[in-house]
Amino acid sequence: MNEYRFIADSSHLFAIFLLLWRIRTSRSCYGISGKSQILYMIVFIFRYLDLFFSFISIYNTLMKITYLGATAATIYFIYFKLKATHNKDSDDVDIFRIIIPSVLLGLMFSRNRHVTEIFWTSSLFLESVSVLPQLFMIRKTREVDVVTSHHLFALGIYRYFYILNWFYKFLNTSDIDVLALCCGIIQTLLYLDFFYLYLIKEILGTDEKFTVNTDNETFHHANPHYYDTYPYHIHCLPRYSPFLNLRKEAFSQLKSLVRGTNIPSSATDFIQRMTNSRTLVTSQNVKNIIGHSESFLEDCLLKGDTNRD
């Protein structure tokens, strides 16, 4: 086992137990998608069907049991012990529309027709999109608490390092599972918008600028003192990605670079000008871009929405 896989597995375990810790300490499942947890449970069941008749290593077996047990515990809290705190109206994704295509793709792309191989292949497709109910829930409610955001970030890091692990294995053994790699890349891409917002919040320290949306009357009826006792900050997210605005800012900076000069005679000439110029990397321009991102988030929180460009 190389260091990339170790970091990936550690990040995965951290994400799972962080979510369990959040549920147990807050005594609430608000903002957590039970549908995503069910999908992850199905992923682990599909992937670890060989648990009782195939042994690779103690480490491998313990990790499988831990993933299954911790995810089962999370589902128990969400749908049984603390079900009154679960905002199920916002967790409304039809997971059968995710499960059925994943199984069909598993049948199509499986290396052979052995049952365990088919389900293992299906688990690759299913895991790549299992986070969708959670992301849709965040987009719908525009809320995510700090600990849950750490959980999602850790899941993204887990998949990113697994991609590095596959490349590392390819460089050392010339063997790579292309299907697993493609599914891992898809899963990582789904996190991009969330990663951006997460990093902006952590780098800029914007906790105080995020407010709580308290429009869920049903939830308040069941939990009237929730927001008074909840130990973690909750912040709202903009409905649309700020990536488009950042691209506009980048193009604006690019225009200022060539404005007042002759049009570059070639791509090489243009690259040379950018290399020689400090226009794009001055501290003021960096502050402008970060400030633009921060003001975008503020506008989303103050106005409650943004317009598409």
Instruction: Report in angstroms the alpha-carbon separations of 145 from 24, 40, 70, 152.
Output: 15, 21, 20, 11
165 pLDDT band (50/70/90 cuts)? confident
Please tell me whether residues 10 and 121 are part of one structural domain: yes
Report yes or no on 91 lying in a domain.
yes
**Residues 178 and 234 both lie in one domain:** no
Residues 101 and 231 in one domain: no
* Amino acid present at 87: N
Question: How many domains does the chain contain in total?
Answer: 2
Query: CA 155, CA 152: separation in Å to the nearest integer?
Result: 5
Let me know if residue 114 belongs to a domain. yes
pLDDT in tens, 61-71: 999 999 999 99
Q: What is the pLDDT of residues 92-145, one digit of tens each?
A: 899 999 999 999 999 998 888 888 999 999 999 999 999 999 988 888 877 777
Domain shared by 215 and 135, yes or no:
no
The widest CA-to-CA distance across the chain, in whole angstroms, is: 72
Lowest mean pLDDT among 135-149, 213-227, 235-249: 213-227
Q: State the average pLDDT over residues 209-216.
A: 38
42 C-beta neighbours (distance < 10 Å), count: 22
Q: Are residues 200 and 226 in the same domain?
A: no
Do 168 and 225 lie in one domain? The reply is no
The verdict on residue 308 lying in a domain is: no
Question: Residue 308 corresponds to which tokens in the numbers above?
Answer: 């598409």
- The answer on 7 and 130 residing in a single domain is yes
What is the DSSP-derived secondary structure letter of residue 230?
-
Would you mind telling me the total number of residues written for the chain in this entry?
309
Question: Which residues span the domain enclosing 242?
Answer: 211-302
Asked whether residue 182 carries a pLDDT value surpassing 80, the answer given is yes
* Residues 140 and 29 reside in one and the same domain: yes
Domain boundary among 146, 181, 204: 204
Residue 309 counted as domain residue = no
pLDDT of residue 221: 39
